């Protein structure tokens, strides 16, 4: 995972279009108040009424072993405070103890509820996915989080992040200019609404038989651990 601060990047981006395009999408999603449960909330949803495609489609590349028995799907917003709390304080333990050991795979899906910069950040991540660097871009976004709607996810910074992780800037810029993944992001937001989500982060933990457990908010690692272990033991 990337944790080094990188807002003060010295590199110069030569093409003005790299920055200009990032401001093309706005108003696609309504800003909403962030709703986070203050206490751990675990909901057993029973046999999944939706298919695995509902979770995999319109999301990130898979982090971990594609054949892992547990799938962890996160719906997040790159500007969301508690999404950043999850990234900084919880996700690394999940990756170390469950992803790297082949027990859990992770899929990230967009639910853009904070503001227009959230959508721009999502576009940047999906364009990085084209070059096999979704998770590197995901990590550098959260590593540079400084608040909600305060400009840290500006077009200039998004381009700087792309350059810092060594993306091919011509390809990434063209992807941003064409807004190639805007429909994917809209579809992911629709998925979140279909699932009744009202805030981020929200998680769906799916076992190999399709049984789904829902976790709301940046729960402590112990909550994820208990849920994973119960699935693995049964």
Where do the structural domains in the chain lie, given as residue ranges?
Answer: 19-233
At what angle are helices 155-164 and 134-143 packed, to 10 degrees?
130
Mean pLDDT of 31-58: 51
Which range has the worst mean pLDDT, 6-10, 44-48, 73-77, 166-170?
6-10
Superfamily of domain 19-233: Glutaredoxin (3.40.30.10)
C-alpha angle 53-67-123 in degrees, rounded to nearest 5:
50
177-234 pLDDT per residue, tens? 999 999 999 999 999 988 889 999 999 999 999 899 999 999 999 999 999 999 999 8
Tokens of 93: 């333990």
Asked if pLDDT for residue 27 goes beyond 70, the answer is no
Statement: residue 31 has pLDDT above 80: no
pLDDT at 151: 94
In this prediction, residue 16 carries a pLDDT of 40
Q: Which two tokens stand for residue 199?
A: 């805030």
pLDDT at 55: 75
**SS3 of the chain:** CCCCCCCCCCCCCCCHHHHHHHHCCCCCCCCCCCCCCCCCCEEEEEECCCCHHHHHCCECCCECCCCCCEEEEEEECCCCHHHHHHHHHHHHHHHHHHHCCCCEEEEEEECCCCCHHHHHHHHHHHHHHCCCCHHHHHHHHHHCCCCCCCCCCCHHHHHHHHHHCCCCHHHHHHHHHHCCCHHHHHHHHHHHHHCCCCCCCEEEEECCCCEEEEEECCCCHHHHHHHHHHHHHC
Report the pLDDT averaged over residues 107-124.
97
Instruction: Find the mean pLDDT for residues 72-85.
Output: 98
Edge-first strand order for the sheet with 202-206 is: 42-47, 211-216, 202-206, 70-76, 104-110
pLDDT given for residue 104 in this prediction = 98
pLDDT category, 1, cuts 50, 70, 90?
very low
* pLDDT value of position 232: 97
24 pLDDT more than 50? no
The pLDDT value given to residue 49:
53
Residue 9 is predicted with a pLDDT of 31
Distance CA 95, CA 63 (A): 9
pLDDT of residue 7: 30
Tell me the backbone φ, ψ of residue 18, rounded to 5 degrees. -60, -40
Cβ-contact 60, 218 below 8 angstroms = no
Q: What is the pLDDT of residues 34-45, one digit of tens each?
A: 222 333 444 555
Average pLDDT, the chain: 83
Average pLDDT over residues 134-151: 97
Cα–Cα distance measured from residue 231 to residue 228, given in angstroms and rounded to the nearest whole number: 5
pLDDT over 90 at 15, yes or no: no
Q: Is the pLDDT of residue 170 over 70?
A: yes
Q: Indicate whether 21 pLDDT > 80.
A: no
Mean pLDDT of 5-32: 37
């Amino acid at each position: 995972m990337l944790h080094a601060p990188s807002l003060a990047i010295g590199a110069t981006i030569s093409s003005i279009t790299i920055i200009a395009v990032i401001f093309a999408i706005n108003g696609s999603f309504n800003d909403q108040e962030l709703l986070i449960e203050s206490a751990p909330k675990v909901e057993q949803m029973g046999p999944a009424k939706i298919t695995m495609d509902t979770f995999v489609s319109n999301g990130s590349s898979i982090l971990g072993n594609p054949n892992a028995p547990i799938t962890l799907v996160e719906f997040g917003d790159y500007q969301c405070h508690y999404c950043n709390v999850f990234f900084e304080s919880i996700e690394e333990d999940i990756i170390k103890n469950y992803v790297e050991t082949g027990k859990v795979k992770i899929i990230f899906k967009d639910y853009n509820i904070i503001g227009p910069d959230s959508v721009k950040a999502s576009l940047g991540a999906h364009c990085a996915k084209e070059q096999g660097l979704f998770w590197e871009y995901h990590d550098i976004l959260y590593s540079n989080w400084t608040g909600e709607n305060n400009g840290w996810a500006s077009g200039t910074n998004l381009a700087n992040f792309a350059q810092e992780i060594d993306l091919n800037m011509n390809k990434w810029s063209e992807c941003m200019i064409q807004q190639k993944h805007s429909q994917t992001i809209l579809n992911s937001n629709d998925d979140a609404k279909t699932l009744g989500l009202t805030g981020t982060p929200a998680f769906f933990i799916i076992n190999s038989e399709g049984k789904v457990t829902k976790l709301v908010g940046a729960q402590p690692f112990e909550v994820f651990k208990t849920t994973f272990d119960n699935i693995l033991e049964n």
